[in-house]
Homo-oligomer: A and B are copies of this chain.
């Protein structure tokens, strides 16, 4: 099923790396003839579903129930909330015909499910005892994107998980959003090993119909940021529009306070992009369908082809094969998704094949490993996918110098006793994700630069970095300041104010907004991030 595509083995040319790795590693196929709707191949769909499962598990733990709402939304629902429809009407696919009939009311393929869900919430919520009402669903949403599409990042059919909640008080809604971020941190940071900037968006860039929007902006290897998840405080806006009222304990009528948040294939896009390297994907073990691949290595043909030598080589090969099967079974018995690759290809071919696909752990079994009287002495080489290259070993001159200078950002391979395989593999899998997380954090830190002048912002962005700057305002005035920034940076460097992180408490005393007009210094009230976005 593999499509022949030349994988661009140079991650520093990230755009090309990204486009080719997704095809080469069998993640998806872009040749389906509807724009922005690629086919998710088994390797890709497995990863996405695993990520969804991780999020779903978090929501279930928090008492959020999984359900399923219809895909089609009557136009009359979508137009109920003014700002919401303004945000989405140009982005909907519209069903206008059923069979040969023209429909009375057009149906939108859900661009998101607020309106579908909240029309039912209004039937389900009667009294304070019905609150909180918390549901989530994993489904596909649809956006008629007119911009150019990019697999997993900007597509027209988006597989995602969306959670929607209604609460008795504004405080409960706020607390629920805090829990949402606890969940996302668990999934993305702890399990998938990367994160980003948790920001509050400026007024002009919040979710259509919300009172505020918080996002995770992950800094991609090219320095552009990608909104990987979003969480929205809807206040009572939608409750008023959809009539989601409840009777309080003292018999008053109140509108519910609501929140919603979503996680899509963009998390997969960021995960693959951040951990990948020049040799291909590097998968966090939790999302790898194959976590460990066992590769038997054939003995060399004997130099002297005597009958005895040939028989010895064959006996060694049979021992290697038997050992490899045992190792695979032992790994599987220990709950590790292991696969034996005993195909006819060369070890070199297999290494490259599984490295490209990001399989976390490779176990090599060769002639020397089984060359022992006592089976208890049998060994194997365990090679983590994020393996440190040997520092200049066997290399000379410039090559050796380069290799020695390559930062040791991964783990070292090691020889282990076959008898210890299960425990060692578990240790490796744990270490792999920890190391990936550390390295992702290191790269993230390197990419954020504090700037106090627009010229420095420009310089930083040109180097693939994100600027943290003092900024005046997140409303109309801020929007004007952003316009000046955009003008200064020019069309080639389309940076924008992505929002601010309220947790940055460095004093802004006496600081002026980075976009102040000459001779009109504006006081800064926010630490804002300027970046180019996907």
- Residues on A lying within 8 angstroms of B by beta carbon are 1, 3, 29, 31-34, 37-42, 45-46, 48-49, 65-72, 74, 89-101, 106-107, 109, 116, 119-120, 123-124, 130, 133, 135, 137, 140, 142, 144, 146, 157, 159
Contact = CB atoms under 8 A, between A and B. Distances in A.
Contacts of A33: 74, 119
Copies in the assembly, this chain: 2
Contacts of A42: 65-67, 135
Given A40-B68, A109-B109, 6 more contacts: A1-B133, A29-B120, A93-B95, A95-B95, A96-B97, A99-B146
A39 B95 contact: no
A470 to B, nearest CB: 39
A348 to B, nearest CB: 20
Contacts of A90: 99-100
Nearest to A46: B66
Contact of A34 (B31, B65, B68, B107): B107
B3 A72 contact: no
Contacts of A142: 71
Shortest 10 CB-CB distances between A and B: which pairs? A42-B65, A98-B144, A37-B70, A94-B97, A40-B68, A90-B99, A1-B124, A99-B144, A96-B96, A45-B68
Nearest to A136: B42
Nearest to A49: B66
A98 B107 contact: no
Contacts of A100: 90
A482 to B, nearest CB: 26
Contact of A1 (B70, B71, B130, B157): B130
Among A71, A98, A142, A159: residue with most chain B CB under 10 A: A98
Contact of A107 (B38, B45, B74, B93): B93
Contact of A72 (B34, B41, B101): B34
12 contacts: A3-B124, A31-B120, A38-B70, A42-B65, A42-B135, A71-B140, A90-B99, A91-B99, A93-B107, A95-B95, A96-B96, A99-B144
A140 B140 CA distance: 10
B92 A99 contact: yes
A120 B32 contact: yes
A159 B71 CA distance: 11
A65 B48 CA distance: 14
A3 B122 CA distance: 12
A23 B157 CA distance: 31
A69 B137 CA distance: 19
A89 B101 CA distance: 12
Contacts of A130: 1
Nearest to A89: B99
Among A3, A74, A90, A96: residue with most chain B CB under 10 A: A96
B95 A109 contact: yes
B95 A32 contact: no
Contact of A32 (B66, B116, B135): B116
Contacts of A98: 92-94, 144
A39 B99 contact: no
A130 B94 CA distance: 38
A448 B106 CA distance: 46
Contacts of A46: 66
A129 to B, nearest CB: 11
Nearest to A103: B93
A76 to B, nearest CB: 8
Contacts of A99: 89-92, 144, 146
A485 to B, nearest CB: 29
A119 B71 contact: no
Contacts of A101: 144
A159 B68 contact: yes
A369 B109 CA distance: 56
Contacts of A157: 70-72
Given A95-B109, A99-B89, A70 B133 contact: no
